[in-house]
C-alpha cells in the first residue's frame, strides 16, 4: 500500500471522530475535481450517478466497470474516496470478500455494503445472511491492512420496507459485525435520525440528503450525525440541466443554455491536468 493511500485513509477515519462533514458524490473525474476545488475534505462515489453516465440503470453495472471507476475516482484528486460498492457484488459471503479485496486494492478510503438483494419479491437479505456478508467484508478489509472504513447499509427505506424497528435491528447487528459507520438511506425525519444515532452510538452515522431539505448541516450535527452524503443528487441536478437544455434544442430554441458554465472557467479548472 502506498503512503498516499494510507494517508488518505487515516484522514478519512479522522473525519469520523467528531463533528459533521458533507461527503458529496461526484460521478466522474471532472465532477470530483470540481468538488475538490471547493474545499470538501472527502468524496464518495454514487452507483446511480456512475450507472447513468454509462447509459445503465442503477445497480446494473458490472463489477469490473465499477472497479475501474473506483480507480479513476481515487486518482482524480488528493481526497479520500468512499466507494458505493452496492451489495458487494457476490452471491455468497466468500464472493463478497473477494470483491471487497479487489475494491480495497483500488485505493478507496472506505466502502459501503448494502443488504439489498435486487429481487423485488424479497428486497432484503435475511438478517443472518446480511450479517455474514458484512462479516466477510470485514475480514477482507482486515486481511488487507484493516484501514479501509467499512460502512454497513440498511436499505429498508429504499427497498420498499420502511420499517424503522427492523432498520435499527439491522444497523445494530452490522455495527456488532464490524461496520465502522452505519447508514440507512431514506430516513428523513428528526425522530428517525435520532433513533438511528442512538441505536449504534458511539459509532458514526451517515445520513443521505438527496434533495431539498429543511435540515442544515448544523441541524444534522446537533442530532449526532457524523457525515452527510447526497447520493445521486448532484448527478440528477446535472442531468436536469442537460435535459432542460436538450428539450429546448428539440423545440428549435437555444435559450436552454442560460446559466451554463463558461468554457474558459472549465478550462481554467482543469488546466493542470494533462
* Sign of the Cα pseudo-torsion (249, 253, 256, 257, in order): positive
pTM: 0.96
Q: Which portions of the chain are predicted below pLDDT 70?
A: 1, 274
Helices 29-37, 263-270: axis angle to 10 degrees equals 90
Write down the pLDDT at residue 251: 98
- Residue 124 to residues 39, 92, 93, 119, Cα–Cα distance (Å): 37, 14, 15, 8
Write down the pLDDT at residue 1: 60
Write down the pLDDT at residue 274: 54
Cis before 224? omega within 30: no
Eight-state DSSP code of residue 28:
S
Write down the pLDDT at residue 149: 98
Q: Tell me the CATH number for domain 3-270.
A: 3.20.20.60
Domain boundaries, the chain: 3-270
Neighbours of 119 (CB within 10 A): 10
Write down the pLDDT at residue 272: 79
For residue 44, list its beta bridge partners.
Answer: 82
Residues 70-79 pLDDT 10s: 999 999 999 9
Q: What is the DSSP string of 98-144?
A: HHHHHHHHTT-SEEEEE-B-S-TTS-B--HHHHHHHHHHHHHHHHTT
Write down the pLDDT at residue 62: 98
Please calculate the CA angle 7-11-16 and round it to the nearest 5 degrees. 150
Q: Rounded to whole angstroms, how far apart are CA atoms 145 and 214? A: 40
Beta carbons of 104 and 142 less than 8 angstroms apart: no
Residue with cell 452490522: 174
Q: Rounded to whole angstroms, how far apart are CA atoms 117 and 55? A: 22
Amino acid at each position: 500500500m502506498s503512503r498516499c493511500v494510507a494517508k488518505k485513509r487515516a484522514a478519512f477515519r479522522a473525519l469520523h471522530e467528531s463533528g459533521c462533514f458533507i461527503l458529496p458524490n461526484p460521478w466522474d473525474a471532472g465532477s470530483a475535481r470540481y468538488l475538490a476545488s471547493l474545499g470538501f475534505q472527502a468524496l464518495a462515489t454514487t452507483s446511480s450517478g456512475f450507472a447513468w453516465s454509462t447509459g445503465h440503470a442503477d445497480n446494473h453495472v458490472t463489477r469490473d466497470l465499477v472497479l475501474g471507476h473506483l480507480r479513476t475516482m481515487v486518482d482524480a484528486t488528493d481526497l479520500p474516496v468512499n466507494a458505493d460498492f452496492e451489495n458487494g457484488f457476490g452471491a455468497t459471503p466468500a464472493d463478497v470478500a473477494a470483491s471487497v479485496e479487489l475494491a480495497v486494492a483500488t485505493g478507496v478510503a472506505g466502502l459501503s455494503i448494502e443488504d439489498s438483494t435486487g429481487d423485488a419479491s424479497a428486497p432484503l437479505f435475511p438478517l443472518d445472511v446480511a450479517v455474514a456478508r458484512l462479516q466477510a467484508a470485514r475480514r477482507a478489509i482486515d486481511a488487507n491492512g484493516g484501514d479501509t472504513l467499512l460502512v454497513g447499509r440498511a436499505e429498508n427505506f429504499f427497498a420498499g420496507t420502511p420499517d424503522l424497528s427492523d432498520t435499527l435491528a439491522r444497523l445494530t447487528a452490522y455495527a456488532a459485525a464490524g461496520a465502522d459507520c452505519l447508514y440507512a438511506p431514506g430516513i428523513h425525519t428528526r425522530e428517525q435520525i435520532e433513533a438511528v444515532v442512538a441505536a449504534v452510538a458511539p459509532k458514526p452515522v451517515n445520513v443521505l440528503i438527496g434533495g431539498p431539505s429543511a435540515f442544515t448541516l448544523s441541524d444534522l450535527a446537533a442530532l449526532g450525525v457524523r457525515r452527510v452524503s447526497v447520493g445521486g443528487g448532484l448527478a440528477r441536478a446535472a442531468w436536469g440541466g442537460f435535459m432542460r437544455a436538450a428539450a429546448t434544442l428539440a423545440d428549435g430554441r437555444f435559450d436552454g443554455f442560460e446559466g451554463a458554465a463558461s468554457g474558459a472557467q472549465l478550462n481554467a479548472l482543469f488546466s493542470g491536468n494533462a
